[in-house]
Amino acid sequence: MRNFKKNLLICWFGVFTTSMGLSQLAPILPFYIRSLGVSEYEQITFYSGLCFGITALMMAFCSPFWGHLTNRFGSRLMLLRASFGMAFLTFFLAFVQNVEQIIIIRTLTGLVSGFTSAAIVYIALISPKEKATYALATLSTASVSGNLIGPLFGGLFAELVGIRALFVVIAALLFCSFLTTYFFIKDKGRVDEGVDLEFSQTGALKQNLSLLLTLFALTFIIQVGFNAVMPIMSLFVEQIHHSAHFIALWAGLVVAASGVSNIIFAPKLGKIADKIGAGKVLLIALAFCAVIFYLHSLVENIITLIFLRLLLGVGLGGLVPCVNALFKKIVPQKKLGLVFGFNQSAFALGNFIGSVSGGFLAGLYSIEFVFKMISVMFLVFALYFAILQRKSIFA
């Protein structure tokens, strides 16, 4: 138990520094592209989207392969590979001379990345059964908190020392993840050849396969839903604020609100899920988020929107950690790395499609329509999940 807590803390630090480092790219990459000679607004937005999107696509294609290697060589080696690879490539972003070189580096970054998914597999393997959801929920707060702090730190540091120097700092943070993993994690995170779990713990192979595919789809839908609103949230804040003053500040507060409540409540929901079952908490969280997203479409002032974002962060704390806990429950340990690799593909595709579709649908219809669409998606999947898992949830 002592080693489990120590390894959880180390993985938390690694995920935090990785998320903090990579999230700093968001506010400064468009300006960096402009500094390289791209002057037209349309080209800047196109290349910014391409540089982010290509990384997600490469992650989606390569994650199953890294998951397969996780099964063979252990999670520790994958943690080292991802952290060192991302540190190495991010360092060279400081020396590019044109936007094409950024695209190449971001493509290669997508090929080697995957620290967070490797950490999830590692914690899922080493955590005691009675603490699995709590451990995975605690680990998820590292990513959330890193993503919250990163853009703020990145914007400030870029103003003080310049964008190129910031890439060196980001590389150093990623290398810190590599060092902590190398020196403090000794367990390989690999299942012995003779150890396995029965795939069908309910006695129905077909049911578990259906649940497995449903969890992949849920991961995809969750990421689509939460990422669809990110590109348009600032516009929505401007729309309901009816003023040009402090728009950036209010938008930052709105985005940060869900992260703050998630950090607080995710571990608590994890403990509850360990007691009553991850499936029950996941169902409640899906229905809860569906309601909150619909209420987003009715908002008429900033304070109400911030309150709803706080509630949404609570619901998010019961989604991804519970999905990961269900994977641990139904998948043999020897196949866990591969399954999480496919799930990371669903995660990355959800990020990409959500970011693209949110802005497209908002322009075609309205921002309120996007909120309602997400609400319907979450509600439909909540009903489907309830029907699929009715025996275990309502027993």
Q: Per the structure block, which two tokens stand in for 295?
A: 């209420």
Indicate whether 100 and 170 sit together in one domain: yes
Of 49, 124, 109, nearest to 334 (Cα)? 124
Task: Tell me the CATH number at 353.
Answer: 1.20.1250.20
378, 274: one domain? yes
Q: Are residues 163 and 243 in the same domain?
A: no
DSSP of 213-240, one letter per residue? HHHHHHHHHHHHHHHHSTTTHHHHHHHH
Q: Does residue 209 share a domain with residue 180? A: no
Taking alpha carbons only, the member of 110, 106, 22 closest to residue 345 is 110
pLDDT of residue 288: 96
Residues 54, 109 contacting (CB under 8 angstroms): no
Domain for residue 157, yes or no?
Answer: yes
In a domain, 195, yes or no: no
Number of neighbours of residue 164 by Cβ within 10 angstroms:
14
Q: Which of 86, 116, 100, 114 is nearest to 37 (CA)?
A: 100
- Indicate the residue among 190, 219, 246 that finishes a domain: 190
pLDDT, tens digit, 9 for 90 and up, residues 141-191: 888 888 778 777 777 787 788 889 989 988 998 898 899 989 988 776 665
Instruction: Please check whether residues 122 and 221 belong to one and the same domain.
Output: no
Answer positive or negative: Cα dihedral of 75, 51, 30, 255. Answer: negative
Within a domain: 196: no
pTM of the model: 0.79
Distance in angstroms (rounded) separating the CA atoms of residues 193 and 182 = 24
Among residues 190, 217, 252, the one where a domain terminates is: 190
Is 164 inside a domain boundary? yes
Same domain, 220 and 353: yes
**Quick count: other Cβ atoms within 10 Å of Cβ 357?**
17
Is 365 domain-assigned? yes
Same domain, 140 and 215: no
Using alpha carbons, list the distances in angstroms from residue 272 to 277, 279, 317. Answer: 8, 11, 11
Q: Are residues 167 and 243 in the same domain?
A: no
Same domain, 134 and 213: no
Both 235 and 366 in a single domain? yes
Q: Are residues 237 and 386 in the same domain?
A: yes
Q: List Cβ neighbours of 76 (8 Å cut-off, separation of 6 or more).
A: 122, 181, 185, 186, 187, 188, 189, 190
Residue of 62, 38, 34, 40 lying closest to 347 (CA atoms)? 62
Domain that holds residue 218: 201-395
HSE (side-chain half, CA atoms, 13 Å) at 259: 15
Any idea how long the chain is? 395
Mean pLDDT by 10 residues, the chain (395 residues): 79 87 74 85 77 81 85 86 92 93 91 86 84 87 82 77 88 90 77 45 56 91 86 79 72 81 90 90 95 94 92 91 87 80 87 81 87 95 89 69
Angle (nearest 5°) at CA 68 between 65 and 72? 135
Tally of domains within the chain = 2
- pLDDT tens-digit readout, 210-235: 888 999 999 999 989 988 887 677 77
Helical axes 320-330 vs 278-296, angle rounded to 10° = 150
Same domain, 119 and 237: no
Inter-CA distances, 7 with 12, 117, 139, Å: 8, 15, 11
Residues whose CB falls within 8 Å of the CB of residue 263, separated by 6 or more in sequence, listed in order: 141, 144, 145, 148, 313
